[in-house]
A and B are shown apart, each in its own frame.
Chain A
């Protein structure tokens, strides 16, 4: 068995002598340069730029760009979905104080004794307008804390 494999190896070694004439190797470099120049003239600029980018970042660039685009698309879709969910939630509008009567606003000056809206209720309204976030597992309370 080993002898057979040796014979095969000997026969295969003969193939190393299958060489083109020496002139071929002498003219190869010139042909290479000519082809390079011709290719530069033929190829569009974007293709050359793409090849250079691939060469700079490595062979896996197209794959990495694909992964990057896919990840960006997933993140964008998740963002849009989240935004739509938040938008569709019913928003409670805070009670606005009654507008002052026209006669009363007309006579408004520093000396007037105008009844101002109840301050605690305004504070309550302000607390509604600012966003609140769930920071733990307890439900959010929309009522002001009863005691401090």
Chain B
């Protein structure tokens, strides 16, 4: 006797939300907040903006969830909403921005990957952590919103090209091309820092 395929917990929560169970949507909010915060924060480089945007993203998702037909996964769907709303926000905001790094938790020092990186890479080893973060954020903010989205999803969040292409609604080739171009730009911006 064949075993029944495991039900995607997201789909179950979405179905419950669509039938009026608001608590099911709360579970989705709790589940996706950290990941979407990372996405929106790394695109805006501002905690307050990221918080406001994230609230709006979930509000929009809640309003639109009755129209969610499951053609894509909920993960892709909510990421698309977040990326599109953030890109629109960044285009409206233009150059009027302020970085707010004070609120973020610098638990990076205890991370194994960071320790390894700073032990092997001399430019980073000698750099002040705050300066490193600031430089990275400045470099990111010089990218266009579309390029920033690709870099955030691929380099920071570790999403595969195929998933990014679904979220953005572009081909994988476009994703790779944007990534290459963004890396080249970032490299130029960080060159001075890396030579220190």
B and A form one assembly: yes
Interface residue ranges, A against B (CB under 8 Å): 4-5, 7-22, 24-25, 28-29, 31-33, 35-36, 39, 51-52, 54-59
Q: With A5-B183, A55-B63 in contact, is A14–B114 under 8 Å at CB?
A: yes
User: Binary interface profile of B, 147-161, with partner A (CB < 8 Å = 1, else 0)?
Assistant: 000010001111000
- Inter-chain contact B104/A51, CB cutoff 8 Å: no
Q: How large is the interface on B (under 10, 10 to 19, 20 to 34, 35 or more residues)?
A: 35 or more
Q: Which residues of B contact A35 (CB under 8 A)?
A: 55, 59
A120, chain B: closest CB distance, angstroms: 69
- Looking at the complex, which one of A4, A13, A32, A59 makes contact with B155 (CB distance below 8 Å)? A13
Is there a chain A Cβ closer than 8 Å to B77's Cβ?
no
Contacts of B186 in A (CB 8 A): 8, 12
**Pairwise interchain contact A21-B121, C-beta atoms closer than 8 A:** no
Query: What secondary structure prevails in chain B residues at the interface with A?
Result: helix
Residues of A within 8 A of B55 (CB): 31-32, 35
Whole-angstrom CA separation of A4 from B190 in the bound complex: 11
A20 touches B104 (CB 8 A): yes
Are A15 and B67 neighbours in the complex by a CB distance under 8 Å? no
Contacting residue for B67 out of A10, A31, A55, CB 8 A = A55
Smallest beta-carbon distance B153→chain A, Å: 11
Interchain CB contact under 8 A, B26 and A29: yes
A4 CB contacts on chain B under 8 angstroms: 183, 187
Give the distance to chain B from A145, nearest Cβ to Cβ, in Å.
62
A20 with B187: CB separation less than 8 A: no
In the bound complex, do residue A51 and residue B63 qualify as a contact, i.e. CB atoms below 8 Å apart?
Answer: yes
**Residues A29 and B183 in contact, CB atoms below 8 Å apart:** no
Cα-based distance from A13 to B157 in the complex (angstroms): 8
